[in-house]
């Protein structure tokens, strides 16, 4: 169809709407991202309290990844990375947006500089899909910069609720109120005219269904990025659901927070409603559905509660840490005609990979094939036993975190080995993840040569991406709280 001069009659006819590609050539993409959902928070991932029948069904109908990593242990860096296909360290977005503005002042290190806004020099997957004719919509959490960098400036036709804030003041309508010690007013835009008792996860789902309906009516391919706030703090859920899970509590359970369980139920109901609407509109066969979380489960307690939000056991630690509990997340993909049903894939993957994977699935071969930090997961989606041939995965969090607590660090996973380097004192930790998935036995002193070789790889990678590092704090006073 292309002439030697690169002129394409097909492109002209497509642009004029006189011909259309077969549906499979431009599948819809629904990316549902949970916020702070831990690696073992779903029924299909082994939770003993939470109930997730719709997500369990999605797993049975597609491929479920059992070693999926967020790009970072906190929100904004993972979100920036999955939308751009670049490592957070390369983007210089390594902490959540608000956290970039001011770090702790009396710690041994001053945290590395991190961007508050996703630069416009970066091209998101939404922008690529928009250029390819997709209707593109963000519903829910954005968290990638101020008004000049909202979703509308990064390739999204529709923005419902996206702001620079990382969490709502409340999950109940009108979704506004004071937040934090300073009582800053937070609100969720575009969700006016709700009703008393209306719940945010339900309302965002209503808005997502409107996007599907609109795209179906226009017979237009669409990219729906449904970025739920659930189950991030504030830990609030519908009272009847909370009562249901309170009645299930008994001694010895791994998961013990009934309100958190109820939040996850609403999240699961949302997935069920989206899947049902795709089926009702006859779009099921031509829509790729991806479900993931942006970082590991949060181990702290929320206001008014004394029971921890969740646990990522048997994985160690949680959000804010470079141990597996902070990094590993649920990931499942249903791609009709491509993914086999009900298969697990144990190959380590990173959410950065979603950029190229979605580009490839949408027929944007040049984007999927361009250099980047992620890989196209299509080989694994076709055959979960396949291998990517990737040896190393890197993590970089040059910041402190309050809940674990954790100190600035980098990490590399190399095959089954994982090294963590702590910047305060240069200390190394080495774990063998296959033998010791809970990272309980540090082998750095027993395997000095291996640890040194892995550290050399980590240093070389940091230099290759221009990773920002923390610096000594000249005003640090260990006697002062
Ligand atoms: Ca998060």
- Mean pLDDT across the chain: 94
pLDDT surpassing 60 at residue 472: yes
The pLDDT of 250-276, averaged and rounded, is 98
> In what side-by-side order are the strands of the sheet with 428-432?
392-397, 409-414, 417-422, 428-432
Q: How far is the CA of 294 from the centre of ligand 1 (A)?
A: 5
Percent of the chain exceeding pLDDT 90 equals 91
Residues β-bridged to residue 410: 396, 421
Residue 457: pLDDT above 70? yes
Query: Does the pLDDT of residue 109 top 80, yes or no?
Result: yes
> What is the C-alpha separation between 299 and 287, in angstroms, rounded?
35
Say which DSSP state 111 is in.
Answer: P
Cα 45 to middle of ligand 1, angstroms: 19
Helix (H, G, I), strand (E, B) or coil at 126: helix
For residue 348, give the H/E element and its range.
none
pLDDT of 309 > 90? The answer is yes
Q: Please, are residues 151 and 159 in contact by the beta-carbon 8 Å criterion?
A: yes
Inter-residue long-range contacts of 419-426, CB under 8 Å, 24+ positions, other chains counted: 419/444, 419/451, 419/454, 419/455, 419/458, 420/322, 420/323, 421/455, 421/458, 423/109, 423/398, 423/469, 423/470, 424/108, 424/109
**Structure confidence at residue 405 as a pLDDT band (50, 70, 90):** confident
Tell whether 195 is covered by a domain: yes
Give me the pLDDT at residue 303, please: 81
pLDDT value at position 13?
53
26 alpha carbon – ligand 1 mean position (Å): 30
pLDDT of residue 20: 46
Residue 269 · residue 204 · CB < 8 Å: no
In a domain? residue 129: yes
The answer to whether residue 322 is domain-embedded is yes
CATH code, domain with 81: 3.40.720.10
pLDDT (average), residues 171-177? 97
**pLDDT surpasses 60 at 132:** yes
Residue 85, both tokens = 């296909």
Rounded CA-CA distance 371/369 in Å is 7
Flag whether 94 is in a domain. yes
Q: What is residue 24's predicted lDDT score, i.e. its pLDDT?
A: 52
Whether 144 maps to a domain, the answer reads: yes
- Range in 4-8, 42-46, 159-163 the model is least confident about: 4-8
Torsion sign, CA atoms 97, 102, 104, 110: positive
What distance in angstroms lies between residue 78's CA and the mean position of ligand 1's atoms? Answer: 8
46 Cα–ligand 1 center, Å: 21
E-state strands within 75-170? 109-110, 135-140, 158-160
pLDDT of 3 higher than 50: no
What whole-number distance in Å separates Cα of residue 331 and Cα of residue 397? Answer: 22
C-alpha 295 – ligand 1 centre gap (Å): 5
Per DSSP bridges, beta strands 409-414 and 417-422 are antiparallel
Decide if 120 contacts 153 (C-beta within 8 A): yes
pTM for the predicted model, two decimal places? 0.94
233 Cα–ligand 1 center, Å = 10
> What phi and psi, each to the nearest 5 degrees, are found at residue 15?
-65, -35
Q: Any idea what DSSP says for residue 298? A: P
How far, in Å, from the CA of 425 to the mean position of ligand 1? 28
The structural domain count of the chain equals: 1
In a domain, residue 466? The reply is no
Q: Confidence class of residue 11 from pLDDT cuts 50, 70 and 90? A: low
Q: Which of 354, 370, 469 is nearest to 423 (CA)?
A: 469
**Rounded to the nearest whole angstrom, what is the distance from the C-alpha of residue 128 to the centroid of ligand 1?**
25
Q: How far apart are CA 415 and CA 350, in angstroms?
A: 14
Over its C-alpha atoms, the chain yields an Rg (Å, rounded) of 22
Which H/E stretch holds residue 392? strand 392-397
- How high is the pLDDT of residue 481? 73
Residue 180: predicted pLDDT: 83
> CB–CB of 445/430 below 8 Å?
no
- The catalytic site residues sit at 75, 143
CA of 10 to the centre of ligand 1 (A): 42
- Report if residue 480 sits inside a domain: no
| Per-residue CA distances from 16 to 10, 127, 214, 339 (Å) | 10, 20, 20, 33
DSSP string, 157-183: SEEES--S-SS-S-SBTT--EEETTTT
Q: Which residue has better confidence, 329 or 179?
A: 329
pLDDT at 10 exceeding the cut of 80: no
pLDDT single digits (tens) 353-367 = 999 999 999 999 999
CA dist 64 and 165 (Å) reads 30
> Distance from the CA of 312 to the center of ligand 1, in angstroms?
14
Q: Which residue has the tokens 């209503």?
A: 206
| Residues spanned by the domain of 199 | 22-390
| Predicted local distance difference test score (pLDDT) of residue 83 | 98
Distance in Å, CA 442 to ligand 1 centroid: 28
Q: Which helix (H) or strand (E) holds 264?
A: helix 258-280
Q: What confidence category does residue 207 fall into, taking pLDDT thresholds of 50, 70 and 90?
A: very high
From the CB of residue 437, how many other CB atoms can be counted at a distance below 10 Å? 16
Which is higher by pLDDT, 213 or 404? 213
* pLDDT of amino acid 248: 98
Residues whose CB is less than 8 angstroms from the CB of residue 458 and which lie 6 or more positions away in sequence, other chains included: 394, 410, 411, 412, 419, 421
Tokens for 469? 């590092």
User: Residue range 232-237: average pLDDT?
Assistant: 97
In a domain, 473, yes or no: no
> pLDDT confidence of 451, banded at 50, 70, 90?
very high
pLDDT greater than 60 at residue 389: yes
CA distance 284 to 280: 8
pLDDT of residue 387: 97
In the reported structure, the alpha carbon of residue 281 is separated from the centroid of ligand 1 by a whole-number distance in angstroms of 31
Beta-strand pair 222-227/28-34: parallel
**Cis before 171 (ω within 30):** no
pLDDT band at 424 (very low <50, low <70, confident <90, very high): very high
Whether residue 224 contacts residue 208, with contact meaning beta carbons closer than 8 Å, is answered with yes
96-105, 245-254, 275-284, 338-347: range with lowest mean pLDDT: 96-105
Give the Å distance between the CA of 167 and the centre of ligand 1: 9
Tell me the C-alpha distance between 201 and 184, whole Å. 22
């Amino acid at each position: 169809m292309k002439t030697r001069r690169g002129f394409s009659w097909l492109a002209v006819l497509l642009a004029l709407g006189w011909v259309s590609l077969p549906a499979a050539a431009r599948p819809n993409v629904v990316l549902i991202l949970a916020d702070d959902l831990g690696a073992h928070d779903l029924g299909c991932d082994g939770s003993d309290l939470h109930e997730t029948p719709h997500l369990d069904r999605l797993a049975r109908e597609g491929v479920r990844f059992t070693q999926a990593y967020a790009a970072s242990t906190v929100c904004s860096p993972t979100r920036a990375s999955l939308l751009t296909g670049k490592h957070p360290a390369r983007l210089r977005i390594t902490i959540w947006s608000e956290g970039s503005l001011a770090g702790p002042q009396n710690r041994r290190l001053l945290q590395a500089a991190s961007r508050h806004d996703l630069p416009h020099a970066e091209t998101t997957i939404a922008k690529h899909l928009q250029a390819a004719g997709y209707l593109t919509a963000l519903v829910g959490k954005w968290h990638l910069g101020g008004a000049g960098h909202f979703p509308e400036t990064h390739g999204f036709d529709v923005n419902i609720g996206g702001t620079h804030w990382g969490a709502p003041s409340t999950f109940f309508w009108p979704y506004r109120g004071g937040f934090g010690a300073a009582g800053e007013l937070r609100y969720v835009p575009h969700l006016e005219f709700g009703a008393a008792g209306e719940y945010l996860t339900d309302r965002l789902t209503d808005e997502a269904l409107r996007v599907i309906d609109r795209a179906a009516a226009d017979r237009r391919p669409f990219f729906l990025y449904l970025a739920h706030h659930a189950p991030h703090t504030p830990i609030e859920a519908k009272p009847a659901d909370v009562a249901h899970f309170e009645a299930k509590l008994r001694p010895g359970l791994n998961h013990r927070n009934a309100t958190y369980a109820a939040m996850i139920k609403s999240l699961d109901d949302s997935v069920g409603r989206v899947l049902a609407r795709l089926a009702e509109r006859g779009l099921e066969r031509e829509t790729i559905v991806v479900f993931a979380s942006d970082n590991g489960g949060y181990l702290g307690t929320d206001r008014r509660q004394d029971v921890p939000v969740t646990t990522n056991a048997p994985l160690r630690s949680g959000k804010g840490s470079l141990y597996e509990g902070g990094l590993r997340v649920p990931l499942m993909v249903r791609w009709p005609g491509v993914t086999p049903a009900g298969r697990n894939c144990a190959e380590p993957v990173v959410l950065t990979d979603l950029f190229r994977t979605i580009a490839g699935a949408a027929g944007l071969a040049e984007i999927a094939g361009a250099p980047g930090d992620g890989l196209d997961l299509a080989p694994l989606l076709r055959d979960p036993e396949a291998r990517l041939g990737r040896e190393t995965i890197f993590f970089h969090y040059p910041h402190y975190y309050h809940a674990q607590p954790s100190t600035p660090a980098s990490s590399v996973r190399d095959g089954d080995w994982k090294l963590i380097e702590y910047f305060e004192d240069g200390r190394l930790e080495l774990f063998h993840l296959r033998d010791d998935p809970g990272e309980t036995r540090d082998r750095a002193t027993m395997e000095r040569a291996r640890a040194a070789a892995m550290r050399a790889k980590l240093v070389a990678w940091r230099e290759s991406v221009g990773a920002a590092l923390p610096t000594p704090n000249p005003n640090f006073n260990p006697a002062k709280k």
